[in-house]
Amino acid sequence: MSDVKQSREGLILRVLWMILFVLVWQVAELVLLALVLVQLVYRLTSGRPHVGAMNFGDSLSQYLAQIGRFGCFHSDEKPWPFANWPTPREPQGEGAEAVLAATWSAAAAPAAAAAPNASPVPEATPAEQAPAADSAPVASEAPVESAAQDEPAEKDTAVAKGEGGADAAPEPKA
């Protein structure tokens, strides 16, 4: 009988927590709505989403999901402030492009200040620098490439010797 009484007390306590989290849900829902509107205005004015607002919005939506899981008895873990605040996930879609652009511009800004003639594009990652093993040229492609590389040299030699004729102009070297 004590197990039933203890279970009932636990359920009453959980219902009280659920009522509190329903109120928190209502406030968080309004904050999320305001964040969506601010993000929309920022996107319309600047042409890209605000990275900080995007990350906070993702954390807030995960927090709302935690409240929903707790309220539906899917989880016994109480949401924040009893647990850690959810960390934002990696963005997808247009947001991912904004994060990459912000990362690149942040990485290029100190380099641009140090060297004004430097390129604003960040350096390639090691994965971008070295080709993948799958994309190595096939042996049958090698002669085609060497023939294409030798051809401009033969044209330059012919023009230099004067074999190109009167209407042949020397090609600029790249």
Q: What is the pTM of this model?
A: 0.54
Nearest alpha carbon to residue 82 among 23, 27, 29, 17: 17
How far from the centroid of its chain's Cα atoms is residue 98's Cα?
Answer: 7
pLDDT in tens, 57-67: 999 999 999 99
Quick one: pLDDT band at residue 142, thresholds 50, 70, 90? very low
Q: Cis omega before residue 91 (within 30°)?
A: no
Does residue 3 carry a pLDDT above 70? Answer: yes
Distance CA 62, CA 170 (A): 65
Cα gap 48→42, rounded to integer Å: 7
Separation CA 172–CA 129 (nearest Å): 28
Per DSSP, 133 falls in state: G
**pLDDT at residue 4 in the model:** 79
**Would the pLDDT of 96 be above 60?**
yes
Neighbours of 104 (CB within 10 A): 13
* Mean pLDDT computed over 7-33: 93
Polymer length in residues for the chain: 174
CA distance linking residue 81 with residue 28, whole number of Å: 13
CB contact at 8 A, 87 and 94:
no
pLDDT value of position 10: 85
Q: Is residue 138's pLDDT more than 50? A: no
Average pLDDT, the chain: 73
Supply the pLDDT for residue 82: 84
- Give the pLDDT of residue 8: 82
For a pLDDT cut of 90, what percent of the chain falls above it?
36
| Coil/strand/helix, residue 7 | helix
pLDDT category at 101 given cuts 50, 70, 90 is low
Average pLDDT of span 41-50: 92
Please give the span between the terminal C-alpha atoms of the chain, in angstroms, as a whole number.
90
